Amino acid sequence: MLNFSELYPCSNQARMAQLLDGMWKFRFDPEEKGLQEGWQHKLPDPISMPVPASFSDFFTTKEERDFCGDFWYETEVFVPREWEKQELEIRFGSITHRASVFCNGSLTATHEGGFLPVVARVTDHVKFGEVNTFVVKANNELNEESLPCGATMVLSDGRKLAKPYFDFFNYSGIQRSVWLVSKPGESIEDFSVDYELNGEDAVVHYQIMTNGDHEVSFELFDENKQQVAKSTGAKGSVTVSKAHLWNVGKAYLYQAVMRIWDGETLIDEYSSKIGIRTVKIAGKEIQINGKAVYLKGFGKHEDFEVIGRGFNWGVLKRDFECMKWIGANCFRTSHYPYAEEWYQFADEEGFLIIDEVPAVGMMRSTRNFADAGTGKFTRFFETPTVPTLLKNHLQAVEEMIVRDKNHPSVIAWSLFNEPETTSEESKDYFTAVFDAARALDPQSRPMTGAFEKNSQPELCKCYQLCDFICLNRYYGWYIKGGPEIVDAREAFLIEMNKWKDKNLNIPFVFTEFGTDTMAAEHKLPSIMWSQEYQNEYLDMNFEIFDQFEFVQGELVWNFADFQTTEGIMRVNGNKKGIFNRVRQPKSAAFVLKKRWESLD
């Protein structure tokens, strides 16, 4: 059980939420002297720092861009007297990768993990009717107990440097919105909904978690703001007759309004959009509302020029427009849960999401993209750090499912990306992860994870945990690229036939396949890194996908070019985008558009 409410902030007659985004104060703390020197009260000689954003790409020196260690943020907020009788919380969409939150110098929360909300109750430390100081001490070091996994090295000049075991830049900071939330002492802490379709009607099972025992009401309003259902009690079911279902590409959202009452007096109110739909794996099909859907789309990243992994509504809008234009219906939040606004907008747009925890890098390689598929085996799940890693993994799974469980767009949970899966120890580890996850989702969504090439049908000990299987495969890129693509096709077919022979009778989704492609490079005949090769590679992959009826989806790697650590395998980042980093199409975008529109 989480000891804080993860509900997204909202304002109404019982609650107020004030956005604290803007220019904050900031300081690096390479010597880790901040606490001793009392920085939690006030940062000495701070510089300015936009929130939300990653700090890295604003700077013009490597020392700042690549900074690894402790860093601090500060802001001042006036808290009105009118909030005196309320509970106050400061809520960060995330702080990467770990943080302590101080209010007027007092420690109010600590949090491990950089991609899920950090909520600090500050009621007892705030001065009402005055300006208050909020300070965050953050740290972005990587180790083998953290999600994502990595290492931290020390350079000869004493600086720390992040060594990710994963293929994205270690962007850090306060990368999502910050809210000051005032809510009643007796309040709605969480809610969940689950659906059953019954002919034209829908039964909505709901549960409202409060921290008191006053009467609770639950109401549903349609898009015309007409009330369509009402019930009392913290747990119950309502029937919506002639329900408008939430569907792929055709979203319909009801407004759920929940209230706590003391007789006629309102104590608390919380409202949220919900979408009535069912998700089910039925044999080889992924079904939404009982109808098969073929997943078309991308693995993405939160990544953009200048702001790094910082949330930005403009980038979100452009990404959805590009995804709609190309005929996509789905994306995976590779390799971490995204800002909540992504899910809210997917709810509005009728997009499907495979929601992933930051369990990436679990094969101890600073070049996992190079070592994956080569048979390298590092006994990752056989070290003394595993118990703490598992604890952090379970915490991230819980926080993700609690946060995202009511989004109609979320159709599955991905509990890992490309770990080692061939040892007994990996099987024990992931059995614990899946068991815990299955107890958490009121909608019992399918659970999965993304398997790299070493997870072959005859060797993998973890695919059995999944309700459908996600494969990351690079036949024709990392394996037999360029002129060898004919052999890549043969090798791919051999693997696919082994999966087929298992007769698993469950869906398979390709969660990664792709080629690095320079947006400016053309070559006839094609050559690796040219636009023409990306198109040929995609065509070869599609020809194979179409031969196996259990293939029920294709999420290309990646939606857009993105920043990674420097190295001989990356040219200023990963160039597997179908769009470049500023979201303009490579020629492969037109190949996908044609195919995906014709698949409808």
Ligand X SMILES: O=C(O)[C@H]1O[C@@H](Oc2ccc([N+](=O)[O-])cc2)[C@H](O)[C@@H](O)[C@@H]1O
Which positions ≥6 away from 196 have C-beta within 8 Å?
202, 203, 205, 278
Query: Of the ranges 117-125, 217-225, 303-311, 471-479, which one interacts with ligand X (CB under 6 A)?
Result: 471-479
Residue type, 552: Q
Minimum distance, C-beta of residue 475 to ligand X, in the bound complex (Å): 8
For 387-418, b/e burial (b = at least 16 CB within 10 A) is: eebbebbbbbbbbbbbbbbbbbbbbbbbbbbb
354 touching ligand X, by CB under 6 A? no
Q: How many H helices and E strands in the chain?
A: 9, 30
Minimum distance, C-beta of residue 454 to ligand X, in the bound complex (Å): 8
Q: Identify which of residues 129 and 375 has a Cβ nearer to ligand X in the complex.
A: 375
373 touching ligand X, by CB under 6 A? yes
Number of residues that bind ligand X (CB under 6 A): 19
Query: Of the ranges 111-119, 153-161, 254-262, 369-377, which one interacts with ligand X (CB under 6 A)?
Result: 369-377
369 touching ligand X, by CB under 6 A? yes
Minimum distance, C-beta of residue 191 to ligand X, in the bound complex (Å): 34
Residue 395 tokens, joined? 């915490």
Minimum distance, C-beta of residue 512 to ligand X, in the bound complex (Å): 6
Residue type, 91: R
* Contacts to ligand X from residues 3-22, by CB under 6 A: none
581 touching ligand X, by CB under 6 A? no
* Contacts to ligand X from residues 474-513, by CB under 6 A: 474, 478-479, 512
Q: Identify which of residues 166 and 246 has a Cβ nearer to ligand X in the complex.
A: 166
Query: Of the ranges 8-16, 169-177, 367-375, 547-555, which one interacts with ligand X (CB under 6 A)?
Result: 367-375
Cα–Cα distance, 126 to 88 (Å, whole number): 8
497: three-class secondary structure by DSSP: helix
Minimum distance, C-beta of residue 517 to ligand X, in the bound complex (Å): 11
Cα–Cα distance, 282 to 336 (Å, whole number): 27
Cα–Cα distance, 448 to 78 (Å, whole number): 45
Minimum distance, C-beta of residue 511 to ligand X, in the bound complex (Å): 8
Residue 173 tokens, joined? 């900071």
Minimum distance, C-beta of residue 332 to ligand X, in the bound complex (Å): 10
Dihedral pair phi/psi, residue 344, rounded to 5°: -60, -40
Residue nearest to ligand X (CB): 373
Q: Identify which of residues 498 and 594 has a Cβ nearer to ligand X in the complex.
A: 498
Query: Of the ranges 364-372, 382-390, 393-401, 497-505, which one interacts with ligand X (CB under 6 A)?
Result: 364-372
CA separation, residue 237 to residues 192, 193, 277, 279, 442 (Å): 12, 9, 15, 19, 14
537 touching ligand X, by CB under 6 A? no
Give the orientation angle of helix 313-326 with respect to helix 340-349, to 10 degrees.
Answer: 40
For residues 576 and 586, is the Cβ–Cβ distance under 8 A?
A: no
Cis peptide before 117 (omega within 30 of 0): no
For residues 514 and 475, is the Cβ–Cβ distance under 8 A?
A: no
Residues facing residue 154 across a β-bridge: 160
Q: Identify which of residues 134 and 474 has a Cβ nearer to ligand X in the complex.
A: 474
Q: Identify which of residues 111 and 335 has a Cβ nearer to ligand X in the complex.
A: 335
User: Can you tell me which of 472, 526, 531, 565 binds ligand X, judged by CB under 6 A?
Assistant: 472
Contacts with ligand X, 375-414, as mask; x by CB under 6 A: ----------------------------------------
542: three-class secondary structure by DSSP: helix
Q: Which of 74, 512, 536, 554 is catalytic?
A: 512
Cα 259 → chain centroid: 30
417 touching ligand X, by CB under 6 A? yes
574 touching ligand X, by CB under 6 A? yes
* Contacts to ligand X from residues 151-180, by CB under 6 A: 166-167
Residues facing residue 555 across a β-bridge: 297
Catalytic residue check, 512: yes
**Closest C-alpha to 548, from 515, 512, 502:** 502
Cα–Cα distance, 531 to 561 (Å, whole number): 13
Contacts with ligand X, 106-145, as mask; x by CB under 6 A: ----------------------------------------
Q: Which of 6, 87, 144, 418 is catalytic?
A: 418
Which positions ≥6 away from 135 have C-beta within 8 Å?
39, 40, 41, 42, 43, 72, 73, 74, 101, 102, 105
**Residue in the block written with tokens 């490579």:** 586
* Contacts to ligand X from residues 225-264, by CB under 6 A: none
Q: Identify which of residues 29 and 144 has a Cβ nearer to ligand X in the complex.
A: 144
Query: Of the ranges 15-23, 36-44, 472-480, 498-506, which one interacts with ligand X (CB under 6 A)?
Result: 472-480
Contacts with ligand X, 550-569, as mask; x by CB under 6 A: -------x------------
Query: Of the ranges 17-25, 201-209, 282-290, 368-376, which one interacts with ligand X (CB under 6 A)?
Result: 368-376
Cα–Cα distance, 430 to 462 (Å, whole number): 7
Contacts with ligand X, 426-455, as mask; x by CB under 6 A: --------------------------xx--
Q: Identify which of residues 94 and 574 has a Cβ nearer to ligand X in the complex.
A: 574
For residues 507 and 279, is the Cβ–Cβ distance under 8 A?
A: no
Contacts with ligand X, 300-339, as mask; x by CB under 6 A: -----------------------------------x----
**Closest C-alpha to 553, from 262, 368, 281:** 281
- The CB-side HSE value for 45 (13 A sphere, CA atoms) comes to 4
Cα–Cα distance, 51 to 66 (Å, whole number): 18
Q: Identify which of residues 320 and 557 has a Cβ nearer to ligand X in the complex.
A: 557
User: Can you tell me which of 25, 576, 581, 586 binds ligand X, judged by CB under 6 A?
Assistant: 576
Q: Identify which of residues 93 and 419 has a Cβ nearer to ligand X in the complex.
A: 419
Minimum distance, C-beta of residue 371 to ligand X, in the bound complex (Å): 8
515 touching ligand X, by CB under 6 A? no
Residue type, 350: G
Q: Identify which of residues 8 and 430 has a Cβ nearer to ligand X in the complex.
A: 430
Secondary structure letter of residue 579 according to DSSP: B
Q: Identify which of residues 89 and 418 has a Cβ nearer to ligand X in the complex.
A: 418
84: three-class secondary structure by DSSP: coil
Task: Provide DSSP, 284-343.
Answer: TEEEETTEE--EEEEE--S-BTTTBT---HHHHHHHHHHHHHHT--EEE-TTS---HHHH
Residues that are catalytic: 418, 512
Binding site for ligand X (CB under 6 A): 166-167, 335, 368-369, 372-373, 417-418, 452-453, 472, 474, 478-479, 512, 557, 574, 576
